[in-house]
Homo-oligomer: A and B are copies of this chain.
Amino acid sequence: MKKLLDDPVNAVADSLEGFGLAHADLVEVHTDPVYVTRAGGAVQGKVGLVSGGGSGHEPLHAGFVGDGMLDAAVPGAVFTSPTPDQVAPAIQASDGGRGVLAIVKNYTGDVLNFETAVELAQAEGVEVASVLVNDDVAVEDSLYTAGRRGVAGTVAVEKIAGAAAARGDDLAAVTAVAERVVANVRSMGVALTACTVPHVGGPSFDLGDDEIEIGIGIHGEPGRHRQPFTGATEITRSLLEPVADDLGLAPGERVLLFVNGMGGTPLSELYVVYGRARRLLEERDVQVARSLVGNYVTSLEMQGASVTVLRLDDELEALWDAPVRTTALHW
């Protein structure tokens, strides 16, 4: 295993140290317990926004700390959700007197650890609400699974809820808008290669030279099925169609189209996927009103991509357009 790290055990800490040094104008990195807040701390009179989860998905979540998005991010070990004693102080540090919304990706570990953290923070007198992101259509949402995973759609939830908080919405309103994003966002991903978790040292799954995994999550876990590699057009279709179908997109609707890289795929290929996905949406007479293309919710150096569609209305579009100033998203 060759990685630009020293001891794998310190990978997350070493990376966060560099992150904090590079962006001292925007963020503050806390250690023991580990969490990241915006420089200057909570904004008084604004609902606070906290998210977190395992590391290895950078820039998610710490890259989205800043004006118009998150107040704090809590990175766990690689692909391992953070512990309650990290999350609780991050929640407290984000409270500007109007309560805090915790944005949680739907994984058993994240759910359980945030649950406890929320209780701890509430015990300290902070008003806390939670929203669960579960946009991955690769996973059947039924009684017989842990439910859909939260994947790239998380960026839309954090951006839009962040804008709602920034314009002064109260906790109930910010929570409601976050839930509206969750209800209207869906994603699906493909892996061309596995990734290597630093402390494991080998690939997260074994994939043949001409095979791809459709329906992967963002934790280096295998996908829903394996198939021969075809080309960008076919692969994009197998990601976009389930997403659009599940959303029940009707002709004439407006959407945000987000093509996300898994970390090791060149930007140029993401734009190819974007072009293909856009064409498929246009064939359905769906209008792509907003776009995002890049590596935002990654699986270390995995090669692959996911396609996310968010159904827009005037309010969600305006909140998406609202100014944001973080290390990874800025307009």
Q: Which residues of A contact B (CB under 8 A)?
A: 2-7, 11-12, 14-19, 21-23, 55-56, 58-59, 63, 192-193, 209-210, 212, 229, 231-233, 235-236, 263-276, 278, 288, 291, 293, 295, 298, 300-301, 303, 305, 330-331
Q: How far, in Å, is A230 (CB) from chain B's closest CB? A: 9
Name 22 A/B residue pairs within 8 A (Cβ), A-sorted: A2-B212, A3-B269, A4-B236, A4-B272, A4-B273, A5-B232, A14-B271, A16-B271, A18-B270, A18-B274, A18-B276, A19-B271, A21-B275, A21-B288, A21-B291, A22-B271, A22-B274, A22-B278, A22-B293, A23-B291, A264-B266, A301-B303
SS of A interface (majority):
mixed
What chain B residues lie within 8 Å of A58 (beta carbons)?
266-268, 271
Contact between chains at B5 and A231 (CB < 8 Å): yes
Q: In the complex the two chains form, is A271's CB within 8 Å of B6's CB?
A: no
CB within 8 Å for A4 and B235 given contacts A16-B271, A273-B18: yes
Which chain B residues border A16 with CB–CB below 8 Å? Answer: 271
3 A-B pairs with least C-beta separation? A18-B275, A18-B271, A4-B269
Say whether B293 contacts A18, CB under 8 Å: yes
**A291 and chain B: residue at smallest CB distance:** B22
